[in-house]
Chains A and B, each alone.
Chain A
Amino acid sequence: MEHLAILPILIPMLGGVLMLLPPISGDLARQRSLSLAALGALMLVSLWLVLHANGGTIQLYVLGDWTPPFGIVLVADRLSTLMLLLSSALGFACMLYACAGDDRQGAYFHPLFMFQLMGINGAFLTGDIFNLFVFFEVLLIASYALLIHGGGKQKTRASVHYVVLNLVGSSIFLFALGILYGTLGTLNIADMAQKVAHLDAAEQAIASAGALMLLVVFGLKSAILPLQFWLPRTYASASAPVAALFAILTKVGIYSILRVFTVIFGDEAGGLAHIATPWLWPLAILTLTAATIGVLAASSLRELIAQLVVLSVGTLLVGLAMNRIESTGALLYYLVHSTLVCAGLFLLADMIGRQRGKAEDRFVAARRMCQPLGIGIAFFIGALTIVGLPPFSGFVGKALLLKAADIGTEAAWVYPSILIGGLAALIAMSRAGTTLFWHTSREPDSCERVSRLQLVAVFLLLGMSPLLVIFGGPVSDFTLDTATQLHEMSRSVDALLPGGGS
């Protein structure tokens, strides 16, 4: 049982490695079963970890038995385990969808998918900032490869942008790490938190340059304005299960901002406390504004959903900028909800595109879909959820966030930007839905039926939405507890350093 905390990294890694070797490597059916089995196991482990973390204990996994801060440590607290559960559930649904045939369209889909999850899970679990860099690399390199899955000019073009931007991002990440290691002399996040309060003024200045460089890197991952421009094309061109899985990549960025800027540069950081906040406010509002424009401008469903991803990032940023326990709790709820629903919508867009012939998912009249009922219900649920209308989870997340805002100046910025963003989403989604489903030019002549597996995958993701509302009490309590634990972490870093720090 004591090794459970590392399993979310090892399970997908082992899965991926085994898929490169006989007897699994040459057999798609075996790869599929192994993928699904690994993801199922991953979900169980994550669930166990969440339940365990919910008791309030923070489980440390000391790699190589080297007492932190000298070795690398994994931290399974409420936040990281919540993210693990999210990523494994998401991965499972995307994999189900891919198993219906998308995985045939290029080499190595299954092992890459596994490595992608390994990177994501590692980034969530690690308590060491250099190790975070390593896992960022794992998840990025896997995402480069997955992005081109299926091939084609558009994907190659989008991935050139994605790769180049992220390579520059990785260099900045390294600069930042060098600077922080140079000033703090340690890489363990808890140890850094302990050291940061004792810097003199000059060191503080240098360290904050490093910290803000980290904000750029994480901002690039999470698609904050002005670093979000790569996202719409990248996501819109990726193949459906990949785009759906990528819904969590932006959240890795948000997670990292949350971790670094509440634990290291949080309440106890002295002169460097909350250094990101003054930057986060304008960036959040600008991201929301740009996404609102983007949402209205979208001319195909995939593009629209990609813009909605940016909109959800803006909403999350507002939560980050408010920087208090309630807002963090709200943003975590919103994060879970938006990841699942955006992923579901990407899968759905793919189904819709396939059934509308040449018009694909563009907002023009086309032939009638041959399975409008199932797809239509899914679209309806997904649309209401992402727009933030009851009775689905979007409204709970948004209302929690809005409620967390201080009335006064804060509310004057937050309310309009989030609500107008929601209205834009409502307008865009209602236009999209009426056009895609109802504005038909002719009856279908042939029908590429959506497989049952694909529908199950979509409903698995979108079905979470009503569950998040029905069990909104326990879920929001959990995210609030998570936020409390996270915000208190900067005060109780000793607990994360059994060796007492360096």
Chain B
Amino acid sequence: MNLIWVPLLPLLGTLVPLLTERGGRTLCAWATALLPALSLMIILSHAPSVLSGATLKSALPWIPALDLELAFRLDGLGLLFSLLILGIGLLVILYARYYLSPKDSMGRFYCYLILFMTAMLGIVLSNNLIQLWVFWELTSISSFLLISFWSDKREARRGARMALTVTGAGGMALLAGILLIGNVVGSYSLDQVLASTIQIRESGYYPAILVLMLLGAFTKSAQFPFHFWLPHAMAAPTPVSAYLHSATMVKAGIFLLARFYPVLSGTDMWFLIVSLTGLTTLLLGAYFALFKHDLKGLLAYSTISHLGLITLLLGMDTKLAAVAAVFHIINHATFKASLFMAAGIIDHESGSRDMRKLNGLWKYMPYTATLAMVAASSMAGVPLLNGFLSKEMFFSETLHQSTLGSLSWIVPVLATCGGVFSVAYSLRFIHDVFFNGEPIDLPRTPHEPPRYMKLPVEILVALCLLVGILPGYVIGDLLNSASSAVLQGLVPSYSLAIWHGLNLPLAMSTVALIGGLLIYYNRRVLFQFQAQFPEKDAKEVFESLMQSIIAGCRWLNERLENGSLQRYLMLMLLLTIALTAAPMMSLNQTTGSRPQLPADGVTITGAALLILGALATVIWHRKRMIALLTLSIVGLIVSVTFARFSAPDLALTQLSVEVVTIILLMLALFFLPQRTPKESSPHQMMRDLALSAAVGGVVGTLCYALMTRPFHSISEFFLANSKTGGGGTNVVNVILVDFRGFDTLGEITVLGIAALGIFKLINRMRLFMPAGDERGRPWSDDRYPMILAVVSQLLLPLALLVSVYIFLRGHNMPGGGFIAGLITSVAIIQQYVAHGVDFIKDRLKLNYQWLIGSGLLIAMMTGLGSWVAGRPFLTSWFDHFHLPLIGDFELASAMLFDLGVYLTVIGATLLILANLGKLTTAERPVLTKEEL
């Protein structure tokens, strides 16, 4: 079967436990085991060819842009790891069936576990580096889910977060490393990368690549100084600890080192970093393991120590060391998984993991005790067990390496020290738990576990013995094949015998055994010595580090994002100045070549008024009404300017917009305080003055530079085509309703939306209504003065007539729908002012919302009308007609469009006004069905 099924079957298998959970625990366990078992069979079916030296491959395209394909390869190393993952995985499934209590969700547990299994298989079988990284991160995620399985426990949540943070950070580094490798090699295919040893080693990026890859590996494999997360991952259920945190996931880092051994090793940098890290971790783990009172804590530190040992082996400069590393991977997985399971059984059956309470369990569970003792002896390196063999090889290699030059002797010495502690803590495990008196206040009376809970332990312990006694037969081929995959070449000759004669490694082993016994015997002294150092809980340290980082970020963020609109505006304007100043400085001559118009008296007066108006607005900006009046001077001058430079349309528009906005603003000011409180400090005033002067200076200079230069634009086209193409002589109007009618459509939509938005805003507002003006004078009793009412009533028909006139002549003379709409609005607003909301409401049955809607609809339908003629949206049509009495006249689709504009403008302005006005009336508006 294709290799792709090996990870795919477990991936499908993640659903199985969720589906079968209801069928009972046993069924769920068996069903869950089914698909991984199939995967194992596939692997086994390929085993003979892999053992004989073949490398199997299979690939499917996935994301070519990323050079990511679903590519798998099975070589010796992959085979070894797959067997460990699937084999131990199946045992853990069986074990967990009995370990989990009925109140734990078994489906969820198995689902996460199988997800993890998939991810792990993905890592070891990947033939594409990015894919490898994908699965790598998946192991971190599934490990997070498994550690936090008992999520109501604080330590589980914290432990899970810590593990995720550390391994996640490593994952990021790994990705960077992989991308660098890909860039150097030009491919992410493992085959090609493994064939590019020289290219990578000699590239200038080698140090960066190495450090990044090692960061990934060391965080995952809990190497010093990243080891601290592993002991806290023990908050997970014990099957998880046995599987992830001793046998497989933590070996992913080791796997990575082994996988990239051919390309990354062989340099001084590799040897130095890897061996020193391994050595430190080895010693640190072994030392601290002895002091842990928690069974799983002891095993966790012991795991760290053994991972350090394997790392050290990979960091030594002899080929045999790599073989020893592979061998120890196998041995450690078997004895450590069985020890964790035994610890789980003890915990399960006695209710405690504290070695100060657990004593003399031999009496209660002799069978389990025997199994645990065999496994622990293997951990200590006792002859006839597999741990002894690889440890012997390790000792022998420490003697042959020259990693540290003339200081290389230090390695075997420290390795022996590590061995001593390893024996000591193994002894503690055996002696404290199973002997050493009677149990102290255990929650339960310990007894042997169910039959099948022991089975996985039995199998693993049997393997320890088998490998230990008959290494060549049991493991020889697999070891050879895996080692050759690591070395990517011939494996040096070695012998897997138990007895190599009386030599130095044996002496080191003996020293370790005797030293360990001595240390354990004198452990009280050592415990007292260690008690001088206050024990820090890594979880707390990590958590408080995180807290202080977060507090720092909050502090910084509050400074940056302080909620001050002034600050944000200042930053925006500063950025504008910064961005425009650079090009402006490169502009050597500001004045262009265009001849300038003479400055006459009118222009100068206008300019002076404009400046004075603007200055007055700024000076009196805190007196709102005055500021509004002075602001209207600015608007007025702008309209006059438009008129002066032959744009009567714009002048008219500007004028009517001025009128409408000023009225609306005055209405709004009614509800607001008449004066703006003084909010800026003198400092800020200075800053704002300087800033606005700078912005004004830049924009002014730009305008000046621009306007003094000759100007060629597409406007000639509009002048030439306005009559012939658009059917009107008023070019501005033709531009608005025809050439750029689409813009106008957008703008009237904006107007309509603005009205809706303002309605939405004030609709449910409860505003304070001042009873008098700023000096406390009450409002006049005469709300609707007679003269005003009469005059405005008289003006209304006149104004409407004017607006119709302006509307109709728009296409050829200054005017158009927009201006006409504003004039109509002003006329109606006047009625509101003169008669009040209620009066108008009774007489003018206009729904302004419908007015907006129909205006927009008419404009849009005009545009759609051109589809009938097979033309694009908004294509105009016009023709000349003759009617008796009236004479020649022109009809244009643009007029219909203008009608839409007209209606929308009226609807929008009046909707705003009517709602502001409604606020002043006694009756409060309520949200009617209509307005939804």
Chain B residues in 8 Å Cβ range of A396: 63, 66, 68
Residues of A410-442 at the interface with B, using a CB-CB cut-off of 8 Å, are 411, 415, 419-420, 422-423, 426-427, 430-431, 434, 437-440
Is A107 in contact with chain B by the CB < 8 A criterion? Answer: yes
Chain B residues in 8 Å Cβ range of A209: 579-580, 583-584, 698, 702
**Quick one: closest B residue to A296, CB to CB?**
B553
Residues of A209-227 at the interface with B, using a CB-CB cut-off of 8 Å, are 209-210, 212-213, 215-216, 219-220, 226-227
Q: Are A145 and B575 in contact (CB under 8 A)?
A: no
Q: Are A473 and B713 in contact (CB under 8 A)?
A: no
Residues of B93-140 at the interface with A, using a CB-CB cut-off of 8 Å, are 130, 133-135, 137-138, 140
**Quick one: closest A residue to B153, CB to CB?**
A438
Chain A residues in 8 Å Cβ range of B161: 427, 430-431, 434
Is A58 in contact with chain B by the CB < 8 A criterion? Answer: no
B168 interface neighbour in A71, A130, A212, A423, Cβ under 8 Å: A423
Task: Give the interface segment out of B356-364, B422-430, B672-680, B872-880.
Answer: B872-880
Q: Are A131 and B754 in contact (CB under 8 A)?
A: no
Chain A residues in 8 Å Cβ range of B761: 145, 148, 156
Task: Give the interface segment out of A82-90, A92-100, A158-166.
Answer: A158-166
Task: Digitize B560-577: 1 where CB-to-A-CB distance is under 8 Å, 0 elsewhere.
Answer: 110101011101111110
Q: Are B931 and A294 in contact (CB under 8 A)?
A: no
Residues of A221-236 at the interface with B, using a CB-CB cut-off of 8 Å, are 226-227, 229-230, 232-233
If A72-B743, A206-B705 touch, whether A3 touches B575 (CB-CB below 8 Å) is no
* A interface SS class: helix
CA distance A10 to B557 in the complex (A): 42
B157 interface neighbour in A108, A175, A208, A438, Cβ under 8 Å: A438
Q: Are A179 and B702 in contact (CB under 8 A)?
A: yes
Q: Are A70 and B718 in contact (CB under 8 A)?
A: yes
A17 interface neighbour in B549, B721, B853, Cβ under 8 Å: B853
Is A253 in contact with chain B by the CB < 8 A criterion? Answer: no
Is A480 in contact with chain B by the CB < 8 A criterion? Answer: yes
Q: Are B853 and A25 in contact (CB under 8 A)?
A: yes
Most chain B beta-carbon neighbours within 10 Å: one of A169, A419, A431: A419
Task: Give the interface segment out of B79-87, B176-184, B296-304, B801-809.
Answer: B176-184
Chain A residues in 8 Å Cβ range of B931: 107-108
Query: What is the minimal beta-carbon distance from A118 to any residue of chain B, in angstroms?
Result: 7
Task: Digitize A442-485: 1 where CB-to-B-CB distance is under 8 Å, 0 elsewhere.
Answer: 00000000000000000000000000000011001101100000
Q: Are B576 and A148 in contact (CB under 8 A)?
A: no
Chain B residues in 8 Å Cβ range of A260: none
A213 interface neighbour in B157, B183, B579, B875, Cβ under 8 Å: B579
Chain B residues in 8 Å Cβ range of A297: 550, 553-554, 556-558
Task: Give the interface segment out of A39-47, A60-68, A312-320, A337-345.
Answer: A60-68
Chain B count of residues within 8 A CB distance of the other chain: 128
Query: What is the minimal beta-carbon distance from B702 to any residue of chain A, in angstroms?
Result: 6
CA distance A89 to B173 in the complex (A): 35
Task: Give the interface segment out of A262-270, A398-406, A487-495.
Answer: A398-406
Q: Are B742 and A473 in contact (CB under 8 A)?
A: no
B572 interface neighbour in A107, A138, A168, Cβ under 8 Å: A168
Q: Are A437 and B699 in contact (CB under 8 A)?
A: no
Query: What is the minimal beta-carbon distance from B409 to any residue of chain A, in angstroms?
Result: 40
Q: Are B565 and A165 in contact (CB under 8 A)?
A: yes
Q: Are A65 and B932 in contact (CB under 8 A)?
A: no
CA distance A297 to B62 in the complex (A): 38
Q: Are B572 and A476 in contact (CB under 8 A)?
A: no
Is A391 in contact with chain B by the CB < 8 A criterion? Answer: yes
Chain A residues in 8 Å Cβ range of B141: 384, 389
Task: Digitize B839-863: 1 where CB-to-A-CB distance is under 8 Å, 0 elsewhere.
Answer: 0000000000110111011001000
Task: Digitize A292-331: 1 where CB-to-B-CB distance is under 8 Å, 0 elsewhere.
Answer: 0110110100000000000000000000000000100110
Task: Digitize B357-386: 1 where CB-to-A-CB distance is under 8 Å, 0 elsewhere.
Answer: 000000000000000000000000000000
Query: What is the minimal beta-carbon distance from A253 to any residue of chain B, in angstroms?
Result: 13
CA distance A279 to B569 in the complex (A): 19
Q: Are B554 and A107 in contact (CB under 8 A)?
A: no
CA distance A407 to B186 in the complex (A): 12
CA distance A395 to B553 in the complex (A): 25
Q: Are A422 and B172 in contact (CB under 8 A)?
A: yes
Is A390 in contact with chain B by the CB < 8 A criterion? Answer: yes
A18 interface neighbour in B571, B739, B853, Cβ under 8 Å: B853
Q: Are B576 and A13 in contact (CB under 8 A)?
A: no
**Quick one: closest B residue to A184, CB to CB?**
B713
Q: Are A403 and B182 in contact (CB under 8 A)?
A: yes
Query: What is the minimal beta-carbon distance from B205 to any residue of chain A, in angstroms?
Result: 6
CA distance A136 to B489 in the complex (A): 64
Chain B residues in 8 Å Cβ range of A63: 741-742, 872-874
Q: Are B706 and A216 in contact (CB under 8 A)?
A: no
Most chain A beta-carbon neighbours within 10 Å: one of B557, B711, B856, B857: B557
Task: Digitize A230-272: 1 where CB-to-B-CB distance is under 8 Å, 0 elsewhere.
Answer: 1011000000000000000000000000000000000000000
Task: Give the interface segment out of B264-272, B745-753, B771-779.
Answer: B745-753
Chain A residues in 8 Å Cβ range of B184: 407
Q: Are A229 and B157 in contact (CB under 8 A)?
A: no
**Quick one: closest B residue to A212, CB to CB?**
B579
Q: Are A430 and B165 in contact (CB under 8 A)?
A: yes
CA distance A439 to B152 in the complex (A): 7
Q: Are B580 and A21 in contact (CB under 8 A)?
A: no
Is B867 in contact with chain A by the CB < 8 A criterion? Answer: yes
Is A182 in contact with chain B by the CB < 8 A criterion? Answer: yes
CA distance A6 to B863 in the complex (A): 11
Task: Digitize A270-292: 1 where CB-to-B-CB distance is under 8 Å, 0 elsewhere.
Answer: 00000000010000000000100
If A293-B557, A438-B152 touch, whether A71 touches B739 (CB-CB below 8 Å) is yes
Chain A residues in 8 Å Cβ range of B134: 390-391, 395
A25 interface neighbour in B130, B849, B864, B871, Cβ under 8 Å: B849
Task: Give the interface segment out of B222-230, B276-284, B586-594, B789-797.
Answer: B586-594
**Quick one: closest A residue to B69, CB to CB?**
A473
Q: Are A215 and B750 in contact (CB under 8 A)?
A: no
If A3-B867, A430-B164 touch, whether A26 touches B929 (CB-CB below 8 Å) is yes
A65 interface neighbour in B586, B850, B871, B930, Cβ under 8 Å: B871
Chain A residues in 8 Å Cβ range of B151: 434, 437-438
List 24 A–B pairs whose Cβ atoms lie within 8 Å, in order of A's numbering: A13-B856, A13-B860, A18-B853, A20-B856, A25-B850, A61-B872, A70-B718, A108-B932, A142-B757, A156-B761, A161-B565, A164-B569, A175-B702, A206-B702, A212-B583, A213-B580, A230-B568, A293-B560, A326-B65, A391-B138, A399-B66, A419-B176, A434-B157, A438-B148
- 3 tightest Cβ-Cβ pairs between the two chains A and B: A145-B757, A20-B853, A185-B713
Which residues of A are interface residues toward B (Cβ below 8 A)? 2-3, 6, 10, 13-14, 17-22, 25-28, 31, 61-66, 69-72, 104, 106-109, 111-112, 115, 118, 122, 130-131, 134-135, 137-138, 141-142, 144-145, 148-149, 151, 156, 160-161, 164-165, 168-169, 172, 175, 178-179, 181-183, 185-187, 191, 202-206, 208-210, 212-213, 215-216, 219-220, 226-227, 229-230, 232-233, 279, 290, 293-294, 296-297, 299, 326, 329-330, 384, 389-391, 395-396, 399-400, 402-403, 407, 411, 415, 419-420, 422-423, 426-427, 430-431, 434, 437-440, 472-473, 476-477, 479-480, 502
Q: A72-B742, A384-B141, A438-B151 are in contact. List 18 more A-B contacts (CB 8 A).
A: A20-B756, A25-B930, A72-B740, A107-B756, A108-B759, A149-B760, A161-B565, A182-B706, A182-B711, A202-B589, A206-B702, A212-B583, A296-B549, A390-B134, A396-B68, A403-B183, A419-B176, A426-B164
Which residues of B are interface residues toward A (Cβ below 8 A)? 61-68, 130, 133-135, 137-138, 140-141, 144, 148, 151-152, 157, 160-161, 164-165, 168-169, 171-173, 175-176, 179-180, 182-184, 205, 546, 549-550, 553-554, 556-558, 560-561, 563, 565, 567-569, 571-576, 579-580, 582-584, 586-589, 592, 698-699, 702-703, 705-707, 709, 711-715, 717-718, 721, 725, 738-743, 746-747, 749-750, 752-754, 756-757, 759-761, 763-764, 849-850, 852-854, 856-857, 860, 864, 866-867, 871-876, 927, 929-932
